[in-house]
Amino acid sequence: MAGRLAQAARTHWLRNSWSGQEFPHPGKRRPIVGDLEVSDPRNPILSVLTLGKELGEIYELKIFRQKFVFVATAELVAELCDETRFQKTLPPAIDALREFGGDGLFTAYNDEPNWQLAHDLLMPAFTKASMRSYHEIMLAVTRELFEYWDGLPTSRVDVTRDMTKLTMETLSRSAFSRDFGSFTSPTPHPFVGAMIRGLATARRKGGIRTAPGGKLAGKFLSHKMAKDQEWADELLDDLIAARADDRSQHDLLGIMLNVAHPETGERLSPINIRYQILTFLVAGHETTSGALSFTLYFLATNPDCLRRAQEEADAILGDDPDAEPTFDQVSKFRHIRRCLDESLRIWPTVPAFSRTPLSDTVLGGRYPMRTDDWALIMLGQVHRDPAVWDEPERFDPDRFLPEEIKKRPAHSYKPFGTGMRACIGRQFALHESVLVLARLVHRYDLTPDADYELDVTERLTMVPRSFFVTLRRRRATTQPVESHSHATHSG
């Protein structure tokens, strides 16, 4: 437990006074609760996205004692992305995740030595070339997903649910060679449930920390969370200990256990390795699953884009519905990649990230900002800033043609964050997503429910809710397989 106590939260975020500047905010503010009533505690970011529409380039919300400042335009964001003037900081909801993620990569403060150490040790495992090591795993999990789908008694599938299984399975195998049997066992592995419940509770705790009685409520939630968290921690700690003398596996855990820093010879401690593993699982699975689900939503509802994706997949993979792309082929699915990019523009699954100045400065020449102040970049708004994007609500993958990208100002598209704290898993997510999407549209036609309207919900990240598609095999070559004839459903 010593390790956990050492990771105590900081409360720097409370000081966010912006030298007394008051920005536009919705409605009339109440004593004590502030703007609490206008925001939806279950979907805080989504409610801010809606409220923020009317409030301009910078606005604020006050929830109990905590002031939140949101930035909505590409112009101000370009400045906040200047690494010589600004850096990442952790807003309360992310700081609360330190109970799980400690000083792991995502939840570390910039000045914590383990950030640089882990970054230096792990960066080589996340280059584009390193994706070769995960390519086979990604193919295998995709195959299992299709076997699972083809064996179901129905051809109507819950997209978000199944994409989440797929990304969780890919990550657990890539990170620590653990098979959770997501597509082969009828119930999810208890680790997955424990992890998700623990995180949801941690986030709720983060939300109430500044409320009157928040400390007490937090203790209650901690108690509730303790069992799940301890169980998940133990499982990982056992796994790490069991691998301590094993140099044979070259997964992420293997790298963390076996590789010392080339200059200092330093290694990660066992507890920090656990933080990193949890971080990869959490940062990597829901974000990518959301990106896949949104892209499938846009493909299913934009028949012309789907047709072009299928033509591209056919051209590269040929006629065999079981054909799998080679590593080098994955970067050839240009249109499919643009569909993914465009989905992450409209629905960035990590909806916001935060920035704080390195020294006192003036944002945009008009908003004084001190080192105590921090701003949340609202990607959902920035990515639809009418100053940069024509018809921002329209799904148009051709916005990501190279010549179109060149026309846009720098930093107008930031789904993976920015600077040295940008997403380390970007290539992993892109490789996996393009590979899965290519195989999926190559093999199936997708029909959404006729009356479905996109319903976005907030888990830790943004995902479509209750989004089902009906799958139809495009062709059956080897043996004609009807989805029903295959069913081995045991009820």
Give the footprint of ligand MNH on this chain (CB under 6 A). 88, 105-106, 119, 279-280, 283-284, 287-288, 291, 349-350, 353, 415-417, 421-425, 428-429
In the complex, the smallest distance separating the C-beta of residue 269 from ligand MNH, rounded to whole angstroms, is: 17
Q: Between 26 and 89, whose beta carbon lies closer to ligand MNH? A: 89
Q: Between 286 and 324, whose beta carbon lies closer to ligand MNH? A: 286
- Closest alpha carbon to 77 in 340, 409, 467: 409
In the complex, the smallest distance separating the C-beta of residue 248 from ligand MNH, rounded to whole angstroms, is: 22
In the complex, the smallest distance separating the C-beta of residue 70 from ligand MNH, rounded to whole angstroms, is: 15
Task: Look up 86 and say whether it is catalytic.
Answer: no
- Closest alpha carbon to 228 in 203, 198, 199: 198
CB atoms within 10 A of CB 457: 14
Distance of CA 355 to the CA centre of its chain: 18
Active-site residue (options: 416, 428, 461, 467): 416
In the complex, the smallest distance separating the C-beta of residue 437 from ligand MNH, rounded to whole angstroms, is: 12
Burial class of residue 327, CB neighbours in 10 A (0-12, 13-18, 19+): middle
Q: Between 35 and 142, whose beta carbon lies closer to ligand MNH? A: 142
**Rounded alpha-carbon distances, angstroms, from residue 258 to 20, 171, 208, 266, 310:** 51, 20, 40, 11, 43
Q: Between 105 and 471, whose beta carbon lies closer to ligand MNH? A: 105
Q: Where is 362: in which H helix or E strand?
A: strand 361-363
Q: Between 59 and 86, whose beta carbon lies closer to ligand MNH? A: 86
Q: Compute and round to an integer the Cα radius of gyration of the chain.
A: 23
Strand pairing category for 367-369 and 361-363: antiparallel
For residue 58, list its beta bridge partners: 71
SS3 450: coil
Q: Between 35 and 169, whose beta carbon lies closer to ligand MNH? A: 169
Residue nearest to ligand MNH (CB): 425
Q: Between 110 and 258, whose beta carbon lies closer to ligand MNH? A: 110
Active-site residue (options: 423, 428, 461, 467): 423
Active-site residue (options: 167, 279, 287, 356): 287
**Cα(400)–Cα(389) distance, rounded to whole angstroms?**
12
In the complex, the smallest distance separating the C-beta of residue 356 from ligand MNH, rounded to whole angstroms, is: 11
In the complex, the smallest distance separating the C-beta of residue 337 from ligand MNH, rounded to whole angstroms, is: 12
**Cα(205)–Cα(427) distance, rounded to whole angstroms?**
32
Task: Look up 339 and say whether it is catalytic.
Answer: no
Residue with tokens 């570390």: 108
Residue 485: CB partners within 8 Å, gap ≥ 6?
A: none
CB atoms within 10 A of CB 392: 16
SS3 143: helix
In the complex, the smallest distance separating the C-beta of residue 88 from ligand MNH, rounded to whole angstroms, is: 5
Q: What does the DSSP 8-state code read for residue 456?
A: E
Q: Where is 463: in which H helix or E strand?
A: strand 462-464
Task: Look up 416 and say whether it is catalytic.
Answer: yes
User: Active-site residues: which are they?
Assistant: 287, 416, 423
